Amino acid sequence: MKRITILGTGNVAQNLFEAFSSSDDINVVQVVGRDIKKMEFFKNRTSIVPYDEELALTDIYIIAVKDDAISEVSEKLRTKGLVVHTSGAAALSELKTHERHGVFYPLQTFTKSRLLDFSEVPICIEASNANDLKLLHRLGKAISSNVVAIASDKRRALHVSAVFLNNFTNYMYTIGEELCEENQLDFSLLKPLIKETADKLEFIDAFEAQTGPARRGDQQTLHKHLSQLKSKKHREIYTLLSNSIRASYQFKKDKA
């Protein structure tokens, strides 16, 4: 059994803690944090330690804090154990003051008060030496069936992709909410569509799955839609994305 320290108390820390709790191979010995309210989550389940107190020795130290706090937390940490962060964007080298360092990045979106089923969350790992990569693989396998070694540059590319697939997709949902509000429509009418749009990726590539007036080059509907949109912001986004979709399929057609 491996002994673990989690530094941080937010959504990622809570989700990792919960997932490790179900594993016989991992024991979260202590959680380090300063936010008393967030500490509540861990109370009576493990040892809770403030940042300035001495830590118990463990095999791995997981820094699960915001990107811009990683280096500060890392610098305060005195250990010869393996130190990893959980960020998609931060480089492996941010932890280089520790001889043994690595990355343990769960590629998922975490929401306050929502505990996820980790079993299919991809865990992207990276380490400064081969033995520690093995150790991180074991740590990942304790909670997920999907553990992959990914170097920093590829992890950064995944992170940018995630901005499109999560941040921007969610923003499309927000615009949907705004349009429903403007037109006194119940947004929940659109939820089955949102779900199916995501689910169909199991059966078909997104490029093939594309439908709608932009793909068809249906100018009449495009103009009708633009005239219906009251917000300049919505019109700008509608225009740029439609033109961009149109160009992709036109290009494909010209090549064929």
Residues 183-222 that bind a second copy (CB under 8 A): 183-185, 189-207, 209-215, 218, 221
Q: Helix H segments across 95-231?
A: 130-141, 152-162, 169-182, 191-199, 206-209, 213-216, 219-228
- Pick from 92, 115, 133, 175: which binds a second copy (CB under 8 A)? 175
**Residue 74, SS3?**
helix
Contact code string over 123-152 relative to a second copy, x by CB under 8 A: -x---------------------x-x----
What's the CA gap between 234 and 13, in Å, rounded?
36
173 binds a second copy (CB under 8 A): yes
**In this structure, which long-range contacts are made by residues 193-202, counting pairs with CB atoms below 8 Å and at least 24 apart in sequence?**
none
Tokens, residue 145: 């069936």
Contacts to a second copy from residues 147-166, by CB under 8 A: 148, 154, 156-166
Residue 182 CA: distances (Å) to CA of 138, 161, 168, 177, 187: 51, 31, 21, 9, 11
What's the CA gap between 127 and 92, in Å, rounded?
8
- Pick from 21, 25, 241, 252: which binds a second copy (CB under 8 A)? 241
Contacts to a second copy from residues 56-85, by CB under 8 A: 67-68
Q: What is the DSSP letter of 217?
A: T
Question: By CB under 8 A, which span of 22-30, 44-52, 53-61, 119-127 interacts with a second copy?
Answer: 119-127
Tokens, residue 131: 């033995």
Main-chain phi, psi angles of 242, to 5 degrees? -65, -45
| Site residue total, a second copy (CB under 8 A) | 86
User: Which of residues 129 and 166 has its CB atom nearest to a second copy in the complex?
Assistant: 166
- Pick from 121, 136, 142, 147: which binds a second copy (CB under 8 A)? 121
User: Which of residues 3 and 10 has its CB atom nearest to a second copy in the complex?
Assistant: 10
Main-chain phi, psi angles of 32, to 5 degrees? -110, 130
Rounded least distance, CB 132 to a second copy, Å: 22
User: Which of residues 43 and 255 has its CB atom nearest to a second copy in the complex?
Assistant: 255
- Pick from 47, 170, 219, 250: which binds a second copy (CB under 8 A)? 170
What's the CA gap between 161 and 109, in Å, rounded?
13
Contacts to a second copy from residues 16-55, by CB under 8 A: none
Residues forming a β-bridge with 105: 124
Contacts to a second copy from residues 95-114, by CB under 8 A: 107-109, 111, 114
- Pick from 25, 40, 72, 182: which binds a second copy (CB under 8 A)? 182
